[in-house]
A and B are shown apart, each in its own frame.
Chain A
């Protein structure tokens, strides 16, 4: 077994990895990962299917609720619920990740022994695979959303400024959600059966990030918790922006909060990773 002398800071790549190198890595790796997606397109389409099911079912359920209450419930008409959940579908596809399971597999099979020797932070490898999946599946997702929008008579109240603001909002949301969930995935370095924790996280996100229902339908204390914690900023905020439900001031303030949360998330992630790396080598990985 290799005795890995891990200098955690060096492993994160403080000394050798310039932005230029990183950009080249992303370019090359993206091409490879995209080719992989194409090669395994059957499996990829099945994953896309599973991403669509939950928002679609929620759409039907809440539409039924609105219809039963004479056209609108909780401040949303049936058409507005359709718009909401189609937006959730898109934003979720753009912000979700699955790598906690891969991290667990890598820890179990010892693959990290090799990864720890590289000068680049391992988060980049996973991020580029994540982006390749999203680039590939966005192509069929857009027409699917258009069809669903027509079928369910979705009512969007989007203004031009919402579309402009949506771009940074969703990129920041992706950054926050991805960084936090990647850091959470590192729990596999400490606990062998992290599945329950990931399931719990997914459930909490399901409610507090607005996947189950618009956050405005929850009692005020819950809304406060979702806003103070990063959940609203991981998914609900870009959705609210896209739907045109926020004023210009609220959008700007929200973007600011997202930037702050992204910084916090990166700090947490780096701290957890350096602990995970030193623990891994301490246990003789």
Chain B
């Protein structure tokens, strides 16, 4: 594996801190204890490339993933059909807007399923088996390595299927999507991924303390699958707050959908940015906290 230094060789290359495997000396910065951001991107790219090569060997994964996501979509759309047999709008959302919502939810979920979720599953298993220590001795940011170490390329089937459903929803909706709306939608989608990534990182970091909780990601998965396909407005206040700040899934699906249909206001966009930043920094802090208190497998 070629180590590229390029423009990053400004003296930031650090040796493994003596006597502290778990992550960083007093000198290291909060954001990049071992090296610069370029190095982090290099690590990410390497993992993704290796994952892609592995995926090509397992084409059947893609097929089965496609079957699975098709069943999931058929279930969601049939459910919408039953509901819209009884009403013509749900909390102000038309049926085509809800179809768009399902598409967005599927895209977001599958994007996480390509690399983030499998990597975190592997991480928690490594904590349990004690093999995490090997990764921590490597001279790269541990959070980056842990987040990108495993690629399940088959999940891209979900992104394709979700985009198709989103397209169908937009077509049925009938209104033109302006460029501004499309850009805002893309931006809100990215923020949504950031928020969900951070939340998954927080959940996974719990593995440092609760080794027997190997199903902790189920909290996210089930909530996202079930609650993430409905507009956040239908939930009563306490549930709405929970689904925005505690398990932040309703926010991340609803806001991009609102951006697409042009009914998001500046306050919501600003709120999404603040929430994303808060979650990202909070997750980062919690990760570093967990690492610092991690005593290793053989302790």
Contacts and interface: CB of A to CB of B under 8 A. Distances in A.
Given A60-B235, A61-B90, A68-B89, A43 B212 contact: yes
Contact of B226 (A57, A62, A151, A199): A57
Contacts of A64: 90-91, 234
A212 interface: yes
B264 interface: no
A203 B75 contact: yes
A105 interface: no
Interface stretch (B77-85, B155-163, B168-176): B77-85
Contacts of B230: 57, 60-61
A47 interface: yes
B285 interface: no
B-side interface size class: 35 or more
B90 A217 contact: no
A145 to B, nearest CB: 16
B289 interface: no
B87 A196 contact: no
Nearest to A55: B226
Contacts of B74: 203
A54 B226 contact: yes
A91 to B, nearest CB: 18
A40 B212 contact: yes
B239 interface: yes
A212 B74 CA distance: 13
B106 to A, nearest CB: 15
A42 B78 contact: no
Interface stretch (B182-190, B217-225, B268-276): B217-225
Interface in B188-227: 210, 212-216, 218-219, 222-223, 226-227
A73 B86 contact: yes
Nearest to A75: B86
Nearest to B216: A46
Contacts of B89: 68
A272 interface: no
Interface in B227-267: 227, 230, 234-236, 239
B64 A47 contact: no
Given A43-B214, A47-B218, A69 B68 contact: no
Interface in B41-55: none
Given A57-B227, A61-B90, A212-B79, A49 B210 contact: no
Interface string A57-82: 10011101100110001100000000
Highest count of chain B CB atoms <10 Å: which of A46, A62, A69, A206? A46
Nearest to B211: A42
B71 A199 contact: yes
Contacts of B216: 46
A193 interface: yes
Contacts of A50: 218-219, 222
Contacts of A57: 226-227, 230
Interface in A192-235: 193, 195-196, 199-200, 203, 206-207, 212-213, 217-218
B78 A60 contact: no
Given A40-B212, A212-B82, A199 B90 contact: no
B86 A65 contact: yes
B156 to A, nearest CB: 17
B278 interface: no
Given A53-B227, A68-B90, A212-B79, A217 B85 contact: yes
B171 to A, nearest CB: 24
Contacts of A74: 86
Given A46-B215, A64-B234, A196 B90 contact: no
Given A53-B226, A212-B79, A200 B218 contact: no
Residue of A42, A69, A207 with highest tally of chain B CB at under 10 A: A42
Contacts of B215: 43, 46-47
Contact of A49 (B67, B79, B219, B234): B219
Contact of A65 (B60, B87, B223, B226): B87
Given A46-B215, A60-B235, A196-B68, A217 B79 contact: no
A24 B74 CA distance: 46
Nearest to B89: A68
B64 A195 contact: yes
A57 B76 CA distance: 13
20 contacts: A40-B212, A42-B210, A42-B212, A42-B213, A43-B213, A47-B218, A49-B218, A53-B227, A57-B226, A60-B239, A61-B234, A64-B91, A64-B234, A65-B90, A73-B86, A74-B86, A195-B64, A203-B74, A212-B79, A217-B86
Interface of A: 40, 42-43, 46-47, 49-50, 53-54, 57, 60-62, 64-65, 68-69, 73-74, 151, 193, 195-196, 199-200, 203, 206-207, 212-213, 217-218
Given A60-B230, A62-B83, 13 more contacts: A47-B218, A49-B222, A53-B227, A61-B83, A61-B90, A65-B86, A65-B87, A73-B87, A195-B64, A199-B72, A206-B75, A217-B82, A217-B85
Q: Which 5 A-B pairs have the closest CB atoms?
A: A50-B222, A73-B86, A64-B234, A203-B75, A57-B226
